[in-house]
Amino acid sequence: MHKYSSDTRHIRKTNVVNRIVEELSEQSPLDAKLNSICNIIPEAFTNPEDVCVRITFDNESFQSYNFKSSKRTEKYSFSTPDLVQGLIELHFSGNYIKKGNPEIICDEFLSNVASLLAWNISSVKLGRLVYDNTERLKELKGIRRTAEVLSKSNSIDE
């Protein structure tokens, strides 16, 4: 029975990670994605109604619809390559309050979720940077062409 429950937990967490990947691939704002992910994460646990999630990123906080802070928490911090900090917090209530509940130990799960978040946020920022740089190069090209035209033309006095 112990092996079965361990396999079931693994499958549940894998399914949640897959749903998070799907959510991150959506063309929606980051805020909407993080709010949605806060409501997806509890489904990785046997009693999702007893798990609340808060994700803090870049001084903004997002939380599951049922969020209630509790003393029994698991936290995992992450950062993006530009050193913006994030934190995933799981708050447990009900059956999870019991000390030593083996299901609560979830560093690998939180690590995977944090890696997905950091990767997605970084790729969105990189996309914006590439777009901004491309637009700046267009502007510089236009300025250079204008300067060439002006330097080849005669002055008004001539």
- The three-class DSSP label of residue 98 is coil
**Strands 85-92 and 60-63: what pairing?**
unpaired
Which of the four pLDDT bands, split at 50, 70 and 90, describes residue 102? low
Residue 1, pLDDT above cutoff 50: no
CA nearest to 79, candidates 48, 124, 119, 35? 119
Length of the chain counted residue by residue: 158
The conformation of residue 27, written as its DSSP 8-state character, comes to S
Rg of the Cα atoms in the chain: 24
Strand partners, 101: none
**Structure confidence by residue, pLDDT tens digits, 45-76:** 888 899 999 999 988 999 999 899 988 888 89
Whole-number pLDDT of residue 154: 59
Whole-number pLDDT of residue 37: 95
CA distances to 23, 24, 26, 149 from 29, in Å: 11, 10, 9, 43
- The three-class DSSP label of residue 143 is helix
The top-level CATH class assigned to 2-120 is alpha beta
Q: What sign results for the dihedral spanned by CA atoms 118, 40, 88, 128?
A: positive
Mean pLDDT of 118-147: 83
